[in-house]
Amino acid sequence: MKILWIDPVGTDGFDAVIGKILKGSAQPGTEVDVVSLPKGGPLHLEYHAYEGLVTSDITRLVYHLSTDYDGIVIGCFYDVGLREAREVSRNAVVTAPCQSSLVFASHLGNTFSVLVGRKKWIPRMEENIRMYGYAHRMASMRPLELGVYDFQADLKRTAEIMLEQGRRAVEEDNAEVLILGCTIEFGFHEKMQRELGVPVIDAVAAPFKLAEMLAASAELFHWYPSRKWGSEGPPEEEINSWGIFKEGPPIGNLLKHKDI
């Protein structure tokens, strides 16, 4: 089985560490590659304008690389480009952190809270949670007032803030499960679980493990992505006649499994 993780930004700053996390948690026989976008684009996706800029690159990546992989993960909790990518993924399953984390949380408790970086992020994430059908389970969204590049800058301070807001989400908001609402919040969930006594869903692990499970199910049961009605993809003859994917995949950095 082969899984591709897409870091949808124009920097490879987190490629190696995320690759090691994924490789370390992969099932035997699963190969993991990590790709990031070319330099010159956004270095984070905290703004919707930046999302718009990278959605095209994500779609082109998935169109060109989907035949090489059983599963593809888009590594941003906004689930940027998820619908677009799924239309052109052929038989590869495509997952993303928000929807995947909700799937796990819904099986582990009745309610959940999301620990988000900044208040700015909340409307977009709430919109996705409503669209996915989980709004009735959400106890709260707790902003940490940390940007993407703050999480790993001072690990002690980040851990203190996350534990404090996680504790308040459990004790004041009645959350039974916590979701870490950014992929760069990696490395904290195990300590939080020990201290708070509830499941803490890591936004890197959740979409990767869901992609693994779905890819294995496709192999066993032929449960491939539907191409009927709303899941219909653009016709190949139209794509070819318009030449809209004639450029190759927009790869800035590619880490292969053997090099991670």
- Are residue 196 and residue 210 in the same domain, yes or no? no
Instruction: Determine the pLDDT at residue 260.
Output: 92
pLDDT in tens, 205-220: 999 999 999 999 999 9
Residue 68: domain span: 2-96+205-259
Whether the predicted model's global pTM rises above the 0.85 cut = yes
Average pLDDT over every residue of 73-101: 98
CATH code for position 159: 3.40.50.12500
pLDDT in tens, 102-161: 999 999 999 999 999 999 999 999 999 999 999 999 999 999 999 999 999 999 999 999
- Are residue 210 and residue 87 in the same domain, yes or no? yes
Please name the helix (run of DSSP H) or strand (run of DSSP E) that holds residue 254, with its range, or none: strand 253-255
Query: Which amino acid, 260?
Result: I
- Mean pLDDT over the full length of the chain: 97
- Are residue 172 and residue 103 in the same domain, yes or no? yes
- Are residue 103 and residue 186 in the same domain, yes or no? yes
- Are residue 82 and residue 13 in the same domain, yes or no? yes
For residue 32, give the DSSP letter: E
- Are residue 89 and residue 105 in the same domain, yes or no? no
Neighbours of 199 (CB within 10 A): 18
Q: How many CA atoms lie within 13 A of 122 on its CB side?
A: 14
E-assigned strands of 62-193?
A: 71-74, 93-95, 112-116, 138-143, 177-180
- Are residue 92 and residue 209 in the same domain, yes or no? yes
Chain length of the chain = 260
CATH code for position 18: 3.40.50.1860
CA separation for the pair 51, 128 (Å, rounded) = 14
Instruction: Determine the pLDDT at residue 93.
Output: 98
- Are residue 118 and residue 195 in the same domain, yes or no? yes
For residue 46, the SS3 value is coil
Report whether 59 contacts 37 (CB < 8 A): no
Instruction: Determine the pLDDT at residue 13.
Output: 95
Confidence of residue 69 (pLDDT cuts 50, 70, 90): very high
Average pLDDT over every residue of 8-22: 97
Query: Which amino acid, 105?
Result: A
Number of structural domains in the chain: 2
